[in-house]
Structure 1
Amino acid sequence: MKYKLLRLTCVVALLFSIHMQGQLKKDAQKQMDTYVSSLLKNMTLEEKLGQLNLVTPIARTGPFATKNASDKMKDGSAGNIFGLHGSPSSIHMRLALSENSRLKIPLLSGLDIVHGFKTVFPIPLGLSCSWDPALIEKTARIAAVEASALGYNWTFSPMVDITRDPRWGRVMEGSGEDPYLGSLIARAMVKGYQGSDLNDDTSLIACVKHFALYGAPEAGRDYNTADMSRLTMYQYYLPPYKAAVDAGAGSIMVSFNDIEGIPATSNKWLLTDLLRKEWGFKGFVVSDFNGIQELMNHGVAADLKEAAELSLTAGVDMDMVSEALIASLKQSVKDGHVSMDQINAACRRVLEAKYKLGLFTNPYRNYDPAKADLVSLTEENRKVAKDATLRSIVLLKNDKATLPLKKNAKIALIGPFANNQNEMFSSWTLKGDVPSVVTIYEGLKKQNPDITYVQGTQVSGDPGLKLKGEPFDAALQEELVAAAMNVAKQADVIVVVLGESSAMSGEARSRTDLSLPNCQSELLKRLKSIGKPVVLLLVNGRPMTLADDLPYADAVLDIWRPGTEAGSAVADILFGAYNPTGKLTMTFPRSVGQIPIYYNTKNTGRPYTEGTEGFFSSYIDQSNTPLYPFGYGLSYTKFIYGAITLNASVLKGNNANLTASITITNSGSYAGEETVQLYIADPVASVSRAVKELKGFQKVFLQPGESKKVNFTITTEELKFFNSDLNWDWESGTFLVYIGGNSQSCEKAEFVWKK
């Protein structure tokens, strides 16, 4: 009886708590509505348009900077700014310019904080290879704490675009090709940036980008059109954006591309019907850099005034840099082309964001000139950075157990990125602290003094590569290679660090050739000819075509662009203090001709099976299979997968659960962690389905010789898909479940589920 009373008391207390939380939210919403409504009534049309205007004093991330940005912040015609640089006090002085305006409305201060602030983590594509959303959330939280201390309250991140084409340079900013994993990471990053309460002085408003389909440009060329069916949009490309919205993201950035012939910046279906009405998004929408003006280039607007009208009507609330809204909408109201209700709605959403951040109470809520140094690059932050780098690195090849290296081995360290602090960052580390970077040379030297470093090669000798920098010098190249050969001959093992420079991936960095630059590839071949073990460390921002280079390396580690703790993490992996755990989140093609290439493809009417010939969907000069599939990543140990067992073979109804179990055994001599991946296939459905889709994963750590049983619970939620009516539902049928260490190497079982 006492137990029943206690249980009843707990239930009542829980219900009361839920009720009170709901009431508090209603009260807070009412207070915000009252405040913002009062402010709007007191604002002139010009002041309202100023809140829709986002300016920048620099042109680093776009074609031009704002003229007279400081004056516009003073008079209220620029209500928001991004790209401020300098000390905390200098940034504060710029933000304080708004106090000269009539209403003294505080500014949103944004920046592209993509993979860290002062403490820099691996690029997002690398981070995603950790398959660790909790860790990724922690990196975003650290970035928010460091950035907010310098005066920023808004980050243009996360980029959640699904990417299947590594020719596109911005694949480095996303989480790869899978919507399930991409959605988990999108949610984690929003939570990390925004924290539990935007009013907290360490929170940043997240800006989810680029809405939508920006990661699918034709030919992999940046800013290009993206063309696909709505079924493909809903099934594969939209889920990460939706996950970020559901996580409470405060803002959305519109993409540059068109969708079904209408640019995203003027696409009412996208920004109003889908985003606000279907998904219930409550935050504000900002254009990308000059996106509104570029509606004229798209051919849908005759002039800047029409471009402004189209974008506002579609659902854009803020104009990044083109200043089309503030220049045109006053006349548009007079002409009756837009209404004051539309302008008020957009202005309200911007003001609500500032209210939620607490800026009306304290415009400089986190300003303290000394605080930035106290919270940045702390010991704990660097520890997280190292952990993130360790978990992001993917072991692609390890013939004859070349790795780990012996700590007393005599090492020749060669390559243009091996002792270069800047090259451990990307083009998006605008505030990263370069002097704090542990280079690969420094990291290895700390653990093994018997190491000699030489540059070995220039980065690229390709005259067609449009990059700023020193021109290729053939005579210098010969000197560099000769020095490398001399050092390599004296060593027990050669560690060569090759790949892309930071200028070769990122925005406006699309490429048609994804192989190692010729001068680097030739160096690798020369080094291999010596007869010593060669370890290739790949520094890159995208999957590369490595098929021609793999024969010249005994082991390959993809370290991406690893960030602040690059050398510390790489050394731990090379010398065996950490067993690699990273798994690829983008497929590596054998050649550019295979692109786009991704694991969750559909079968055709003539599916190809390796080894067959004839009239099938295949190439006549190359295999269909990738070089490395989605989910791939080796370990210093070996994991053996047993057969899948199911607790039932036939299930019925929405409320049933299926348990799929598999036993994993560590048959090697090193302790290690494996990411066990669950895929499901629906071979017969009302629309063609993917050959398999990721639906879950678990990490399991095993000592040598240890076995563990891993259980996955499958519900009808994992069976659902978007049908031809774009309804999210499941259908009765026979299903296949796959469990394995990557998308290609899996155990398989079959079950039937009926409605």
Structure 2
Amino acid sequence: MLSTSDPDAVYFAKADSLLNLLTLEEKAGQMTNIGLTALTQGEFWTQADTLLLDSAKMSNLLITHGVGSVQNKGKYPPSKEEWYRIVKSIQDFTKANSRHQIPVLFGIDGVHGATYTAGSTIFPHQIALAATWNPEFSRITGEVTAYELRASSIPWNYAPVLDVSMQPLWGRIFETFGEDTYINRVMGAAYIEGAQGKSISDSISVAVCLKHFIGYGTPVSGKDRSPALIPEHYLRQYYLEPFRDAIDKGTLTVMLNSGAVNGVPGHIDKYLITDVLKGELGLKGFVITDWGDIARLVENHFVAKDKREATKLAVLAGADMCMVPYDASFAMDVIDLVQSGEIPMSRIDDAVRRILFVKFKLGLFEKSYHHPANFPEFASDSFANLSRMAAVEGITLLKNENNILPLKDNARTKVFVTGPTANSLTSLNGPWSRTFKGDDPTYDDKGKKTFLQAMQAKYGNGNVLYEQGTDFTGDIIDKTSILSKASNSEVVFICLGEQPTTEKFSDIHSLDLPPNQQELVKLLHTTGKPIVLVLLQGRPRVIREIEPLADAILMAYWPGHEGGEALAQLISGEESPSGKLPYTYPRYTNTLHTYQHKGSDKLDDNFGMNGFNPQWQFGYGLSYTSFGYSNFTLSTDTINTNYSIKGEVTVTNTGKYAGKEVVQLYIRDVVASITPDDRKLVGFEKISLNPGQSAKVSFTVSFNDLKFVGLNNKWIAEEGDFELLIGGNPSDMVKKSFYYKTSK
């Protein structure tokens, strides 16, 4: 039992009191999560533009079966007023007709804003937030998303995604903070701080749900929901720590990995769910399955003969709540399994106690919905400006030959804009934006500018020529017109990328950018005009053949509603680029190494191993100005277990523009009993400097930064030489050495 000094003791006491009153049937209902359209008129996947609740379905699911949780929406994004009507109706119906008046827990995928509410603020996706290397934007995204979700009467958000993804082929990498453990830890903690605020019961805070425990983001094949092979010592070193930090921050719910790690599906891995997540990491709240994944234990993983057996395996492993999401079959299986003695009541009580604890701590028993009129900042200009600022700091300048950017003389500059993503709002927002795939322009928000529209507003309609040129795939359209317009322009902007989609729909067989898009670049190169590539895509698509043809390249990721304006401001020089890659950008489809690559993969120009040869390295990104590093000093060159190193470096803006620099700090273990990483990120700070201005950046390296996970799955530090590398460009860093001595 929890100590009475534990601030959560009062909520657990309330949960225990209520738990003692529940029947087995009511407990099984609390463990069940259904999709919203299981409660509405029509088929589950309705095409209707109005969600009308069906009283018979509500009575059957919410009252007869006691379903305790509902999630997501139908096809279209309801307004905040409609969400109020829907959620209020569900909560009032449950309160009026159920025995114990337990409120429903409503959850949704608000992965980059409250994007399933019409008119809400849409932020850059997590990968673009990671590219800012500025945790404040992650915190802001969490905070604003929580505000606008509560304005929609939704208190539970299936975010952030804390999957460390070392597989750039994986279609959901855009939902993550990238390939580095430390960035995931820092950005994840900042998001949670913003979303959960001082208390998740506050009317402007929500409970977060971490996704997806664990190893989901690095499938061997790169296909979604497919197997990963990750030894436990790697699982602990690279993948576990962001979840540990998030739970230490007060996170109460976690969603499971839909795939399998080392042959064990995430939904039945008792060691990882019960021993590690709930035991070692100390999760107080509950664990939820992903959409329909109990059935997939039968249909895809082949570890259960039927759904009943799958339910048994998942619940015994530690799953507390199941996304059925179509009916109450999970609850009925739970009841049968308990009555037959195959699942002990103690396991059910543990699950329901955790669920009720979260409901009490969220304050749902006191207030289970909020009137939208009480949220005047919803979709405000100030929120939009925050989204724009995040996009500006995340967009990454990868190339800028002859300083083609920024463009000068706005009033006289004629440009040609082309490409499949140039005049598409969905190509800025990406998936999980109004719709699941995010590819339906039907729900585009009026007043938000595409890249083309933002350029026209910046340079004047008469100075911006446009031709789409080609779609995401298919033939080039009207080559004659394209060449003519390009020839009559001073600079050609080609907007490339991939059509928004996610999960299994995002599976592809090659990282190469589609041939037609590359052919468009080759065609326009024949004009001799300077070419600027704008990449709007969820993952790094290989552009090895066309990179030399471009004078400048902007990696925009999926930057959100204000991404068009952000790009135009960067191109004009109104803003200066400061984004850095949050993953390694591959040069070849079949050569996929992260920046941590082991020693045998190091580039060797003399007939040696040459596995690590990316197009651009993790942490790379250019600015319109330049930065110099000097006076790199350490407090000591020898440390022991009880000592930390303090260091300092001077950073100077040596160029002509004001700019922001990401000061990156890495550690390298020179020799170790397990082949060490080439380097490990242990700190970063983003600073702003005017031309000629200098700043001293201080840092501390602790004993824990020296550690890695050994084959016994324990964190260890070994005596020997270490190096510290600091700078803003991964291929050009200043370095200092020190020695770690185990004896005092």
Assess same fold via TM > 0.5.
yes
Alignment equivalent of 2:297, drawn from 282, 295, 298: 295
- Per the TM alignment, residue 77 of structure 1 is displaced from its structure 2 partner at its CA by 2.9
**Quick check: 2:130–2:187 contact (8 Å CA) kept in 1?**
yes
Selected match of 1:56 from 35, 43, 48: 35
For normalisation by structure 1, the TM-score amounts to: 0.89
Percent of paired sites with the same residue: 34
Give the Å deviation of 1:268.
Answer: 0.7
Aligned-partner SS, 1:718: helix
The correspondence for 1:309, drawn from 309, 312, 319, is 312
Residues 56 and 65 in structure 1, CA contact (< 8 A), matched pair in contact too: no
1:166/1:609 CA distance change after superposition, 3 Å? closer
Do the aligned partners of 2:420 and 2:472 also contact (CA within 8 Å) in 1?
no
Give the distance between the partners of 1:423 and 1:91, measured in 2 at CA. 31
1:29 & 1:713 partners in 2: Cα distance? 34
Task: State the alpha-carbon separation in 1 of the partners of residues 422 and 477 from structure 2.
Answer: 19
Cα gap change, 1:609/1:128 in structure 2, threshold over 3 Å: closer, same or farther? Answer: closer
* Structure 1 SS opposite 2:209: strand
2:625 is aligned with what amino acid? T
Summarize the Cα distance change of 1:214–1:281 in structure 2 as closer, same or farther, 3 Å threshold: same
For 2:49, the equivalent position in structure 1 comes to none
Q: Which residue of 2 aligns with 1:15?
A: none
Letter paired with 1:353:
V
Q: State the aligned residue count.
A: 702
For 2:717 and 2:621, locate their aligned partners in 1 and report how far apart those are by CA, in whole Å. Answer: 32
1:747 maps onto 2:734 in alignment: yes
In the alignment, what sits opposite 1:349? Answer: 354
Residues 1:553 and 1:280: Cα distance change in structure 2 (over 3 Å): same
- Which residue, 207, 214, 217 being the options, matches 1:215? 217
Q: Name the aligned partner's letter for residue 448 of structure 1.
A: Y
Equivalent position of 2:714 in the other structure: 727
SS of corresponding position for 1:748: strand
1:80 aligns with 2:69: yes
- Deviates most, 433-442 or 127-136: 433-442
Instruction: Return the letter of the residue paired with 1:513.
Output: S
> Corresponding residue for 2:472?
460
Structure 2 CA distance, aligned partners of 1:445 and 1:104? 56
CA distance in 1, matches of 2:143, 2:609: 46
Q: Which letter does structure 2 place at the counterpart of 1:135?
A: F
1:132-211 → structure 2 map (5 Å cutoff)? 132-211=134-213
Q: Which amino acid aligns with 2:354?
A: R
- The offset of 1:390, in angstroms, is 0.4
Q: CA RMSD in A?
A: 2.2
Give the CA deviation at 1:643: 6.2
Partner residue in 1 for 2:609: 617
Aligned equivalents of 2:565, 2:591: Cα separation in 1? 36
Aligned to 1:29: 8
Deviation (angstroms), 1:254: 0.5
- Specify whether residues 557 and 320 from structure 1 end up closer, same or farther in structure 2 by C-alpha distance, changes over 3 A only: same
Q: Within the alignment, does 1:577 sit opposite 2:559 as a pair?
A: no
How big is the shift at 1:546? 1.3
1:422 aligns to what? 426
1:108-507 alignment, distance < 5 Å: 108-117=105-114, 118-297=120-299, 298-321=301-324, 323-364=328-369, 367-371=370-374, 374-406=376-408, 407-408=410-411, 409-430=413-434, 434-449=445-460, 450-461=462-473, 472=474, 474=475, 477-479=476-478, 481-503=479-501, 506-507=503-504
**Runs of 4+ residues deviating >6 angstroms:** 63-68
Q: Deviations over 1:462-497 (max 9, x none)?
A: xxxxxxxxxx4x5xx432x33322222221211221
Whether 1:92 aligns to 2:88 is yes
After TM superposition, give the deviation of residue 162 of structure 1 in Å.
0.9
More divergent stretch after superposition (576-585 vs 444-453): 444-453
1:393/1:582 contact within 8 Å kept: yes
1:603 is displaced (CA, Å) by: 1.3
| Residues 388-412 of structure 1 deviation map (CA, whole Å, 9 limit, x = unaligned) | 0001100000000000001231122
1:527 aligned to which of 520, 524, 527: 524
For 1:535-550, what aligned pairs fall within 5 Å after superposition? Answer: 535-550=532-547
Task: String of CA shifts for 1:624-658, please: whole Å, max 9, x gaps.
Answer: 3110000000001122233633232223x333232
Q: Structure 2 unaligned runs (5+)?
A: 47-53, 115-119, 436-442
Q: Which moved more, 1:725-734 or 1:190-199?
A: 725-734
User: Which one of 675, 686, 690 corresponds to residue 677 of structure 2?
Assistant: 690
Return the letter of the residue paired with 1:610: D
> How far apart, in 2, do the equivalents of 1:568 and 1:460 lie?
22
* Paired residue secondary structure (2:36): coil
Taking a change above 3 Å as real, the CA distance of residues 291 and 540 of structure 1, as seen in their structure-2 partners, is same
Structure 1 alignment gaps of length 5 or more: 1-21, 462-471
- In 2, Cα distance between the equivalents of 1:72 and 1:679? 53
> Which one is further off, 211-220 or 188-197?
188-197
Distance 1:306 1:238 in 2: 29
